[in-house]
Amino acid sequence: MASKLNKLVLASSNPGKLREISAVLAPLGIDVVPQSDLGIADAEEPFRTFIENALAKARHAARQAHLPALADDSGLCAHALGGEPGVHSARYATLAGANPGREEQDRRNNQKLVQELRDKEDFNAHYYCVIVLVRHAQDPEPVIAEGSWSGQIIAQPRGANGFGYDPHFLLPDLGLTAAELDPEQKNLISHRGKALRRLMARLREAR
């Protein structure tokens, strides 16, 4: 697959994901085009598992763009909350009919997460990411890779990098939050970075 894969559409409108995915795929010489550049709207994500949502997003983008498509579905899973916000991470604190900007949505999500954990004793959590690559919309053999990243939730945000829950996601071994890491360091150890490297390895095997 990799020898023929020169361009793909990224099934996301999230600028943070675009930066991270483009940086990791650059060594393969793959041109990553965000679906928003092609006028493709976000797909519905009605499923209860990350892999089902990622596959739905990839097939939607491939169908609209007539290109191979890559999608990730990722989220934060707090252990004391039974894995929530999980697949609802991006819209955890969304009110019916509300459509806040991305930064405001992140702020609300983090505020709700800290509130939900306020009376808990377990602050352990992990990020999870599954990445799906399809050659075309009906591809019967999607390439799938996953990664996870363990940490703890802290009440006070720290750091100006990253996005989503990164300012509240502490890495105890480093003493830093995900938002305090520089982008290169984050890509080496994050859930998305791990999943992308596994995807790259599978693409290289297919040459």
Which CATH number goes with the domain that contains 106?
Answer: 3.90.950.10
CA distance 133 to 43: 15
If one compares 201 and 127, the residue with the highest pLDDT of the two is 127
Q: Quick one: what percent of the chain has pLDDT higher than 90?
A: 72
Determine phi and psi for 193, rounding to 5 degrees.
-60, -45
Check pLDDT > 90 for residue 164. yes
What is the reported pLDDT for 97?
A: 58
Helix H or strand E segment including 64: helix 50-65
What is the reported pLDDT for 3?
A: 44
Check pLDDT > 70 for residue 153. yes
Check pLDDT > 70 for residue 2. no
In the set 72, 73, 106, 139, the catalytic residue is 73
Provide the residue range defining the domain that includes 198: 2-205
If one compares 91 and 2, the residue with the highest pLDDT of the two is 91
- Token reading at 197: 């490297």
Q: Are the CB atoms for 33 and 10 separated by under 8 Å? A: yes
Considering the entire predicted model, what is its pTM?
0.89
What is the mean predicted confidence (pLDDT) over 102-115?
A: 94
Determine phi and psi for 134, rounding to 5 degrees.
-120, 140
Summarize pLDDT for 22-40 with one digit per residue, the tens: 887 877 788 889 999 999 9
Q: Domain count of the chain?
A: 1
Check pLDDT > 50 for residue 108. yes
Check pLDDT > 70 for residue 158. yes
Task: Please give the biggest Cα pair distance in the chain.
Answer: 53
Does residue 73 carry a catalytic annotation?
Answer: yes
CA distance 79 to 85: 10
Q: What is the DSSP secondary structure assignment for residue 182, as one 8-state letter?
A: -
